[in-house]
Structure 1
């Protein structure tokens, strides 16, 4: 495919190769001086004769043309660019990001390398409006927050399958190796009309590498000054012309008891983790199996396993065993059909001090989807069924009369439909709806409506509105309920949460003689009903759970800029402003652990073909934190903070790369901002606490602030500066 440039000796006309239409706003440049083409695709100058010009436009391959007397001919080919990759998460079908009516954010696998991230959890720091949240100062469990909403509101998928949820979400996010990931797609806002429960706040879809595109051999080893060491490897085997097998292993070891803030507790949990996986890719099918085992603990630095579950030395010790199986097949029929399925077995054996939590969960998912693309209409029809089997040793699954465990077993069938209509070339409209049947809560209906308007080739507006829902399992989702530091109290039978959202996005892309640029701005407004908010403040000894009946609101705006002004430099920056609050007792109250603003930025500079310099940073505004009482000396709000990282990479030869860098360059930790993080770290079993007749702690000489042990005052990782180095080897 090509297009022809015709005109005067010193003029250029740019047209599309496919339909011969003029391309406005293309850049015709000589050195650093450039001229934009008109609406008719024409640009001219008096100084071009005999010179070689650079012609570029967003979405087209750049070409060079030497201007001569008479007609000038050039061929350009339309192609996807870094701005316009293929995504699947917004509509359940592959589509160029620019064509999707649903806004989709993207992290490519190459971006993981910019911070030498070992896990998906760390890499998501790079996304505007997304914050990995550490939920415990002892065991360092975490979740992913989109636009400030709690981690359980984010549905995490692997290759489109809901593998990370409920029990698995507590520690599962930190054990997905970056080496297995091809890209990560994010959809902000409710997506329950396609994905069902848990997709209230957004969707994170982790797309794993295909065996066909993987190198024959890949291995990576890195370590840092804290003693964290990771080793990954993968081998590809070509079984036949269209059948490839990728097999690999990931190990992570951290066994260094560091206590730099001097509270007697480990600053970072000790971890021993190993995972093996195999992925089979055919022409129309894929199959992935992964098994992971982890031994993790955090607590007093003199703890050993002989003290597990005792009341002498405190620690939180968690053994996790997890099996994941997923696959899909595209049928060769007149009616396009895709069958997808997954199975997850997750077992956890844990002690939080003297509180044991032994739990197992099995999740099965089966989905059949049909989609067809027409000139003006695309449709997608699907049906799905989900099985949740769960058992633990808490009151949640016990028969109150016999005391025996009664595992829960739920089948949740559902059906969904989506219609995409393009009434004009500039306008795309999408309507979708889903109906699920929950055995406890009955029928649940979730609609969605969205649209995309191309104002012109460079400016696009997207809008969407929709509903989301989720059912809640407190003990599997809220780590604070398990620590044993506070008693759990339910004021009522918890109802399923619902959300309604509206969002608007504006995107502008353009190219100049200074490269390509993309600017994006988003606005959102969400209302949550029946939201379950843990109450830490009414009683210092309790976490009280109830449905909020007065309304919870999330609103905000974000903007981001990404550019490559010169071939050697790539830069991105994002800013998010948000307001997340609840109405409680007729007054407005900001939610715990939500920041009013966040920023992130990244810069990559290619010094030459061998050396690359990377800089990244992220920062967050103050967050409201859980204090125990009015005497608690810790700040009620954290202070703003930022984390900065640098890295140098060296490509020694083809397929061999060395890198070294510094994480948390300025050695910031949350301990700097507060007199202590863990309340009563010197008395984790509250043996020296005095109590009043009502069961509340008393202020005494050895407990002047009337506190009890509590590790939940946490808003950032308590890990300071560390220097790291590593090596990657890739053989194709």
Structure 2
């Protein structure tokens, strides 16, 4: 009897499986191809809208979808860089239909899908927070070798070199210093205060798919340090099987060289449900001495990087993404001599080993209206460093050689979090996407130089939770509201920061936005606080005030964006105004010197400060042959109370190293498929630069000076020509050009070992010539 029951049960299961299979095998089939300008396009996404049925075109640009459900649907063809095409179709059992798509290339990408503004994927014109994008094509046009070079070509942003010896740099956004900018890698906050010292220059541009930029405090959902804005570096994700190898050879000034070799490889599985992108980079740069004193203005560099980015579609509803990168860099600046660093009269030596990675898991509900994301990311940095200026002679020199100022740093950052997105289609009026999330970030940094009695031993921990409502009341109106609560171990109370953003579309071509938000920075050491400078014949360090408390902010911004597309061209502009008020703003004031004559700056709260201004962007693309983009920022940054940056001079209310005007432009001409040329420029207005003197030293001023710098216009040119290797299904691009053609470069550097290494302003490099080769498919 038992055997009979088992047999009947097995038979029922078999019959049921046949029934289900018969129901699924409708023999409703779609076939077709996708072309653009007469050429078949491989790996285009083809899918039935609002269903789980989809495929991609093969290497020949053709596709087939079988056993589809009956009924009326919308068939979509979509690929990055092309306009999305949709076709209404009717599917019937046993019938095969043929649908051919002809895609148009985007004239200018003004409506890309972005994530940084809202923590969810949205098109730029539909996001209540304005998001700018630097894509890989722009990065190639301007011949940027690193992420730091690419960021200069965005409105409101300015990369700044702050050390003549080691070339420590920071990103300033909307008139605020680097510590007010939140740097993300694949939406994760793994850039620590220590990695922020050189990190943007250490990231090769070859690893980047695009960079998303949110200016101002509207990005406060990312937590502390997002007051000035957020930069999200999105690394390459495989979309097709491809390779690319690029070699760039540069001559700096009078003959120093800078050699870069980069390679990327992307591969997809046959079913396109798994893929990996690999990149590797090597850089070798000689030291460069501009004023002939045998002390470098650009340090020597040796950098080797490797990384991967991968995805795995576990099924139609689950996706796993993982990324990992490793970087080793040696950097030396100062007196240009052979031998160990401590035998130089003045030098800085850095050896970095950085490991960075993350894992993201995403689960989508059957209905497609709910997604759950779990993520973790982290970095580990190990650094050996030397920062020293040798006494002239006698016992002091002997003591210095017996105990040279070598140091060690260890730093790790770990982020863990979860995020739930729920879309409600009929929410009172319109559609609302609710976002709920929580994340925990820990950053531990240990940095010590025993001979200077210098020590930073800092462990910061922050638990944050956020909720957001992205309410599209109508096609013209969107209201974005959110609040984030943070419990930081350096702050006694729970900190709650709300934000509100409003989007109104008066017509098809324009968007008006208004945002308000609050933010904070914890009372801890950030990147600039960990940099040891040379000044006044000794070193200069920064220490934290014993009663330092958190800095709070309120930010307002408003903007109007307008673009008019036609069949042959598109043109438009963006006008934005911004205002940020800081309460208990962090300042640095000179408080004296040590027994060895080294200068001490104290980081303390200095009352309120205000930063306000306006940014204007303009863009034009004519028939995919001529593309122009430009942006200019006019702004003012002032403290309510004077800041005593020097004991010798009265304080000033103006922000130091902050020009009141700056901007950029790019002019790209592509008359055909083979030749292209790009003329670009970076404008830096006049600013106040502190200059610490050393008495009786001819290479420095006799006393401290607050210097008004001249303005600069850095002009760059790139020419490129592409040869097609049809037999190999590949192409070769030859390119070359000049950076800083007019040699707009600082000409009054200090000289000798007692120089003020912080007295540096203007373009990051003198006139340089480059030539390169790119092989790709």
After TM superposition, the score normalised by the length of structure 1 is 0.80
**Whole-Å separation in 2 of the counterparts to 1:578 and 1:632:** 30
Give 1:248's aligned residue.
279
Q: 1:633 to 1:448 in 2, by over 3 A?
A: closer
**Whole-Å separation in 2 of the counterparts to 1:320 and 1:541:** 26
Give 1:626's aligned residue.
690
Residues 321 and 359 in structure 2, CA contact (< 8 A), matched pair in contact too: yes
Alignment of 1:457-476 (within 5 A): 457-474=508-525, 476=527
Give 2:768's aligned residue.
722
1:298 positional shift: 0.6
The answer to whether the aligner puts 1:266 opposite 2:292 as a matched pair is no
* 1:369 aligns with one of 394, 398, 419: 419
Give 2:745's aligned residue.
669
The answer to whether the aligner puts 1:218 opposite 2:283 as a matched pair is no
Give 1:123's aligned residue.
150
For each residue in 1:251-286, what CA deviation from the matched residue of structure 2 results, as whole angstroms up to 9, or x when unmatched?
A: 10013x432312321121100010111222223221
Give 1:324's aligned residue.
356
For each residue in 1:133-176, what CA deviation from the matched residue of structure 2 results, as whole angstroms up to 9, or x when unmatched?
A: 10100111111111121111111111101122200000111111
Give 2:327's aligned residue.
292
Q: 1:161 to 1:314 in 2, by over 3 A?
A: same
1:92 positional shift: 0.6
* 1:185 aligns with one of 192, 207, 212: 212
1:333 positional shift: 3.8
Alignment of 1:227-626 (within 5 A): 227-239=257-269, 241=271, 242-255=273-286, 257-283=287-313, 284-302=319-337, 304-306=338-340, 308-310=341-343, 312-333=344-365, 335-353=370-388, 355-375=405-425, 376-393=431-448, 407-442=457-492, 443-474=494-525, 476-478=527-529, 480-481=531-532, 483=534, 485-512=539-566, 515-535=569-589, 542-585=599-642, 589-626=653-690
**Whole-Å separation in 2 of the counterparts to 1:588 and 1:710:** 20
1:238 positional shift: 3.5
Does 171-180 or 290-299 show the bigger shift?
171-180
The answer to whether the aligner puts 1:207 opposite 2:234 as a matched pair is yes
Q: 1:101 to 1:720 in 2, by over 3 A?
A: same
1:550 positional shift: 2.6
Q: 1:338 to 1:253 in 2, by over 3 A?
A: same
* 1:83 aligns with one of 90, 94, 110: 110
1:576 positional shift: 0.7
Residues 619 and 628 in structure 2, CA contact (< 8 A), matched pair in contact too: yes
1:111 positional shift: 0.5
Give 1:701's aligned residue.
none
**Whole-Å separation in 2 of the counterparts to 1:619 and 1:538:** 36
For each residue in 1:566-623, what CA deviation from the matched residue of structure 2 results, as whole angstroms up to 9, or x when unmatched?
A: 4311111111100011122599711111011012111111132211011000111111
**Whole-Å separation in 1 of the counterparts to 2:589 and 2:460:** 29
List alignment gaps of at least 5 residues for structure 2. 1-48, 50-81, 87-100, 314-318, 389-403, 426-430, 644-650, 694-700, 725-729
Q: 1:429 to 1:274 in 2, by over 3 A?
A: same
Q: 1:473 to 1:228 in 2, by over 3 A?
A: farther
Q: Secondary structure at the match of 2:687?
A: coil
* 2:712 aligns with one of 626, 641, 646: 641
Residues 192 and 443 in structure 2, CA contact (< 8 A), matched pair in contact too: no
**Whole-Å separation in 1 of the counterparts to 2:175 and 2:472:** 34
1:193 positional shift: 3.7
Give 2:55's aligned residue.
none
**Whole-Å separation in 1 of the counterparts to 2:660 and 2:413:** 36
Q: Secondary structure at the match of 1:102?
A: coil
For each residue in 1:75-117, what CA deviation from the matched residue of structure 2 results, as whole angstroms up to 9, or x when unmatched?
A: 9999976111100000011111000000101101111111211
Q: 1:162 to 1:82 in 2, by over 3 A?
A: same
1:446 positional shift: 1.3
1:715 positional shift: 1.6
For each residue in 1:624-649, what CA deviation from the matched residue of structure 2 results, as whole angstroms up to 9, or x when unmatched?
A: 11133695496711111110001111
The answer to whether the aligner puts 1:146 opposite 2:146 as a matched pair is no
List alignment gaps of at least 5 residues for structure 1. 1-17, 19-57, 63-74, 685-708
**Whole-Å separation in 1 of the counterparts to 2:591 and 2:766:** 30
After TM superposition, the score normalised by the length of structure 2 is 0.76
**Whole-Å separation in 2 of the counterparts to 1:211 and 1:134:** 34
1:543 positional shift: 4.0
Residues 239 and 245 in structure 1, CA contact (< 8 A), matched pair in contact too: no
Residues 388 and 410 in structure 1, CA contact (< 8 A), matched pair in contact too: yes
Q: Secondary structure at the match of 2:691?
A: coil
Q: 1:556 to 1:148 in 2, by over 3 A?
A: same
**Whole-Å separation in 1 of the counterparts to 2:483 and 2:583:** 20
Residues 179 and 232 in structure 1, CA contact (< 8 A), matched pair in contact too: yes
Q: Secondary structure at the match of 1:228?
A: strand
**Whole-Å separation in 2 of the counterparts to 1:472 and 1:717:** 32
**Whole-Å separation in 1 of the counterparts to 2:305 and 2:115:** 27
1:190 positional shift: 1.8
- RMSD of equivalent CA atoms: 2.9
1:683 positional shift: 3.9
Q: Secondary structure at the match of 2:307?
A: strand
**Whole-Å separation in 2 of the counterparts to 1:108 and 1:309:** 43
